Structure 1
Amino acid sequence: MKKTLFAFSLLTSMAGATYGQSSVTVYGVVDLGLKIENAGNGTVTGIDSGNQSVSRVGFKGTEDLGNGLKANFVLEAGFNADTGSQSDATRFFNRQSYVSLAGDFGEVKLGRVQTMVFTNSAVFDPFADTLAGDSVRIFNYGGNRIDNTVNYSFNAKNGINGQAAYSFGEVAGNSSASRTVAGAIGYASGPLATVLTYQDTKDVTGNDSAKTTLIGGNYNFGLLQPFIAYAINKGPGTLDTRDALLGLKINLTSADTIMTSYMQKRDRFADNADAKQIAIGYTHNLSVRTNLYTSWARLSNDDNAMYRVVAPGKTDKLFNVGIRHKF
């Protein structure tokens, strides 16, 4: 009898491990609004997709493998809601595309994932990589996503979190060419959040690389939430710049938020090649899924700089107002 009970118990546990609970979710964002921009060659007015968040559709799933282990996947495609076209005509799942294993040890992802700076943008940028104040307009993110990556991340109970990633360049006969090594360490507990990120991407020859080191954070006092960030960018070639940000969120109510920031880029190699931006934005939540937004930014370039403009020395002026719905 005891042997029978033991065998039944063993079969039950094996079945539970093999046929664990799983789920698949379809989700997305539709973001459309009026955009008015002058990048130095006249004002363009129109309806634009993705002012606050890139319009997208995604599929994510998880399966419980037992003993605290889970298998996950994410497949996410961006699109232009104003025209119905793909954001990237060369690939469908142009945003994230990965499979992972997660447990008490953290999570290991394989595939196309977010870069270190982009993943942590909400920690140091009051606009959280959105709207006209988006820090990527001046800061060097090293791209928002990267292919062929092994990414490990963890969140400890004491508030410490971190990531490490290696992206294969996949160049025949040269393992260094086009490869990326990146890492991040941060702390998030209570009102304080900080992060230090590093990314090193080799060029197509493997002899030179673009390196970005960024430190930033914010402190939530309740009504006021100040942000700060500083980044060092070096290579390839003669590139040697510094990025700085001071920002503030004003959390008026649970539904209303004002964001503002001042950013500056300084070029330590080229003369008269600096840039600066001032921005302000406002969001109002109509519900958990739907919000209204508006923002304005002015990015001015020195005579030898041309960030977000058509020619050196020009100024970019950007305004938008719209609606975002998540599903």
Structure 2
Amino acid sequence: MHKTSRITLAALALTGCCTALAQSNVAIYGRINTSIEHQKVGDRSVTAMVNNNSRIGFIGREDLGNGLRAGFKLEGGFQSDTGAGMLNGGGFSFGRSSHVYLSGNFGKVQLGRAGGSSYDYVADYGVLDEPNHDTGTVSDALYYGVTRGTNGISYSTPNIAGLIVEAALSMHEKDPSSDMKNSVDLSAIWGRSNWNFGAGYTKRGERNQWGLRASYTYEAFEIGAYIQRADDPVSGSVCNRATGGCGTRNSGRVNTMYTTGPSQFVIGYGWAGSWSEQRDSDAKQIMLGYNYHLSKRTKVYALFTKYDNAKNAKYGYSFNGGVGYGQDARSLGVGLRHAF
């Protein structure tokens, strides 16, 4: 009798476990994105293997009934060319995203670390994300990011006739390593027929930015463009100014893509004007890309990008050895991306 009871209890425990698993959903996801590029920065050139924001993550959700749902997301980046994490010394963390949320008919409330939707809805939407997910040397280095993201509280509305509005607050928690200011991020996205529009505003201490975007799709063609106004009265590092901030600056970008079968052809142009407190701090970028999709998750690609920096500008991501003030930078390469 005692043995039978133990077997029954074990069966009940196993049934309860499986029932719990059936009520929730946890998945591992990520992508490995690696390219081989010939880069030239100023008079320095190198052929290098480049990691393009490779990452791994975990997402989970539980249906609570009556339209209520709880979930989480953990995501961290790693160097696909070396296997190291993104922290100093090669350590790994969930620095890209670490949050828990509750959603329902009321919208979505989220707690933890996440990127600002003002960037997602303006500079990283649709064709503006192409040809390589706005990563690596071909990415948009001219967009001025302000969002802190850590210790975040956000609320997004439900989809109302194609409109979603999101508000986020990042608490400084009296952290002496930060600028001791809360960060505020406000954004909205609205789509109708072939059109989609985005808007975003971010303020962190004395720094702030706002941007507007429009995207249009017609059959195999897609075009997207944004404008941004940035204000940084604090730091002079982005404009080679020894004391004081850089002031205000306007920037913009337009990308277009043509899709035929598994092939995508992308061309983009971006510009950033000089900061108001520093002359000759403007820049422009041209970008060409080609994607060939072997499947929904795997593609091979080719890319070319070139930054023209004025003497007090140093725009450019993922270039070996970095980009200095006044240095032009360009890269030509091929790559392979696999998502899982």
Which category of TM-score, normalised to the shorter sequence, fits these structures? 0.7 to 0.9
The equivalent of 1:71 in structure 2 is 70
Q: 1:45 is aligned with what amino acid?
A: T
The equivalent of 2:231 in structure 1 is 234
Shift of 1:126: 4.9
Q: Is the 8 A contact 1:123 1:195 kept in 2?
A: no
Q: Deviations over 1:164-199 (max 9, x none)?
A: 0000011179x9923101100121233111111000
Provide the secondary structure at the position in 1 that maps to 2:145: coil
Query: Which residues of structure 2 form unaligned runs of 5+?
Result: 1-15, 235-244, 317-321
Q: 1:210/1:123 Cα in 2 relative to 1: closer, same or farther (>3 Å)? A: farther
Q: Is the 8 A contact 1:98 1:110 kept in 2?
A: yes
Is 2:307 the partner of 1:299? yes
The equivalent of 2:203 in structure 1 is 200
The equivalent of 2:263 in structure 1 is 256
Structure 1 runs, 4 residues or longer, greater than 6 Å off: none
The equivalent of 1:102 in structure 2 is 103
User: What is the alpha-carbon distance in structure 2 between the residues aligned to residue 44 and residue 124 of structure 1?
Assistant: 29
The equivalent of 1:324 in structure 2 is 337
Q: Deviations over 1:91-127 (max 9, x none)?
A: 5111110000011122111001011333221157252
Q: Which of residues 32, 39, 42 in structure 2 aligns to 1:40?
A: 42
The equivalent of 1:25 in structure 2 is 27
User: What is the alpha-carbon distance in structure 2 between the residues aligned to residue 76 and residue 311 of structure 1?
Assistant: 31
Shift of 1:69: 0.5
Q: Is the 8 A contact 1:116 1:198 kept in 2?
A: no
Is 2:154 the partner of 1:139? no
User: What is the alpha-carbon distance in structure 2 between the residues aligned to residue 294 and residue 190 of structure 1?
Assistant: 31
Comparing 159-168 and 266-275, the one that deviates more: 266-275
Q: CA RMSD in A?
A: 2.3
Q: Deviations over 1:19-40 (max 9, x none)?
A: 6811111111111120222222
Superposition TM-score, scaled by structure 2 size: 0.82
Q: Is the 8 A contact 1:77 1:93 kept in 2?
A: yes
User: What is the alpha-carbon distance in structure 2 between the residues aligned to residue 37 and residue 214 of structure 1?
Assistant: 31
Superposition TM-score, scaled by structure 1 size: 0.85
Q: Deviations over 1:120-149 (max 9, x none)?
A: 2115725252354422x1111225x61100
Shift of 1:264: 0.7
Q: 1:259/1:55 Cα in 2 relative to 1: closer, same or farther (>3 Å)? A: same
Q: Deviations over 1:75-97 (max 9, x none)?
A: 11111111110022465111110
Comparing 97-106 and 27-36, the one that deviates more: 27-36
Shift of 1:41: 4.4
Query: Which residues of structure 1 form unaligned runs of 5+?
Result: 1-14, 203-208
Shift of 1:245: 1.1
